[in-house]
A = this chain, B = another copy of it.
Amino acid sequence: MKVLVIEDNEELAQNITSYLTREGYICELATNYFQAIDKLKSFKYDCIALDILLPDGNGLDILTHIKSEKIDSGVLIISAKNSLDDKVNGLELGADDYLTKPFHLPELNARLKAIYRRKYLQGAYEIRFNEIYIHTDNMEVSVNGNMLDLTRKEYALLLYFLTNQNRVLTRQTIAEHLWGDYTDNLLNFDFVYQHVKNLRKKIVQADGKDYIETVYGLGYKLNTNK
């Protein structure tokens, strides 16, 4: 899952991103209003953790932007304790959940996962694709009843394919989704080959079928009809 953390307190922001990364998220950070808007224009995120109090603007304006631009991301508002107004306004503006500071990182994790479930999986804990099951909670994948031992990147890649079935994904898109803004000034996305190859191999080994179709000159597609 790809997350944008919008938080101006550098130390907290660093804690959050490194924690979420360890927990398997693809995590990007914006430390002010403009940077946030900028990133939202350029990239697509599954969830956004949004601090209300920013040095150069109000987080709720970012939320308004998200909604008016019809950006389809889950939004978790983070704000100071007992700031009830923010809570009410935030939820009214269409935020998915609310978390008060100070909070504990696992709580953030749990809420993000819950938003993801509600928003993208209709509340389910797992995604199915033919005989492939992904248990999003502990990042477990089983194929035909056998556990698949995937690395972090392979898992992220599979999840990305499964939430974009039958859609062609270019290497660049994949790179952006799995590696975030690190890919900003890259010209070469060869490393995607590696992970596609590894993922393919493991799935074929377990299921005998290669659902990942190469679309020559474009990218890859998870093919339902195989």
Query: Interface-forming stretch among A54-62, A70-78, A165-173, A191-199?
Result: A165-173
Q: Are A24 and B138 in contact (CB under 8 A)?
A: no
Chain A at the B interface: mostly helix, strand, loop or mixed? Answer: mixed
Chain B contacts for A138, CB-based, 8 A: 167-168, 218, 221
Give 30 CB contacts A-B under 8 Å: A15-B187, A18-B187, A19-B172, A22-B170, A22-B217, A23-B170, A23-B218, A24-B217, A24-B218, A41-B107, A42-B103, A42-B104, A42-B106, A42-B107, A43-B104, A43-B106, A104-B176, A105-B172, A106-B172, A106-B173, A106-B176, A138-B167, A138-B168, A138-B221, A139-B168, A139-B218, A140-B168, A151-B216, A151-B217, A152-B217
| Size bracket of the A interface | 20 to 34
* CB-nearest residue of chain B to A164: B138
Which residues of A does B touch, CB under 8 Å? 15, 18-19, 22-24, 41-43, 103-107, 138-140, 151-152, 167-168, 170, 172-173, 176, 184, 187, 216-218, 221
Q: What is the bound-complex CA distance between A138 and B221, given in angstroms?
A: 10
Q: Give chain B nearest CB distance to A226 CB in angstroms.
A: 12
